[in-house]
Amino acid sequence: MKHKCFISFKTEDQQYKDALQNKYALDIIDKSLNNPINSYDEDYIMQVLRRDYLQDSTVTLVLIGTHSAENNFFENQNYIKRELQASLYSKPNGIVGIVLPEMYDKIYKGNYTCSTCGNSHGYVKVDNDITIREFNYNYYLPNNKCAWNEEDRYCILVKWDDFIRQSSYYIQKAFDKREDPIRNKIKVYPK
């Protein structure tokens, strides 16, 4: 089944977006913005994005690279933030965060022994230094546990290489989250 997907990305990661659209020919109906909207008015640009690209999409693919952090003072994150807010609003899109290769070591930190339960957990660093708040909050939804499982997250996180090998699988997983009870815990504007 093909899903209508929107690709959210920073301009610096254009080559990865192009690869998804051209080289890997994902089995999707591409709802991505390919040409800039001719305006400097951010509100107008977002209005067009919502109306023409996000309104009927069902899954948003977020490219997570070195320029996509909330705490990056040198980057304007307004568009990615607003694209994700629009993706999470009302009838939310499924969200897939695709970790670009240069970010693997910054995000995937190996295992640690939990001081609460004594079990081994994988440490995945997804915070404001790595992604924007709209993604990381909905990846690490508050759960009153010492760790998170897939059922505790709304957002899906996957390495670029794994996504390329099994893109349909991850897109379907994100699509299914739209009807999962975890959907009721998402926040569009997390603090």
Rounded to whole angstroms, the Cα distance separating 174 from 157 reads: 10
Angle between helices 78-88 and 42-49 (to 10 degrees): 40
Closest by CA position to 98, among listed 1, 169, 181, 184: 169
Rounded to whole angstroms, the Cα distance separating 58 from 46 reads: 17
Rounded to whole angstroms, the Cα distance separating 68 from 10 reads: 7
Handedness of CA 168, 70, 108, 104 (dihedral sign): positive
* Residue 95 contacts residue 174 (beta carbons within 8 Å): yes
Residue type at 42?
E
Among the residue ranges 25-29, 46-50, 56-60, the one predicted with the least confidence is 25-29
The pTM of this model reads 0.92
Q: In Å, what is the CA distance from 139 to each residue of 30, 136, 182?
A: 24, 5, 11
Q: Which two tokens stand for residue 37?
A: 């909207």
Average pLDDT of span 41-60? 85
- What pLDDT score does 25 carry? 64
Rounded to whole angstroms, the Cα distance separating 31 from 75 reads: 25
- What pLDDT score does 173 carry? 97
Given its phi and psi angles, is residue 27 left (phi above 0), alpha (psi -120 to 50 degrees) or beta? beta
Average pLDDT, the chain: 90
Place of tokens 């301009």: 11
When comparing pLDDT for 76 and 166, which is higher? 166
pLDDT value at 126 more than 80 = yes
Q: Using one digit for the tens of pLDDT, what is the confidence trace for 83-93? A: 899 899 888 99
Average pLDDT of span 157-186? 96
Q: In Å, what is the CA distance from 58 to each residue of 7, 20, 133, 148?
A: 11, 17, 21, 24
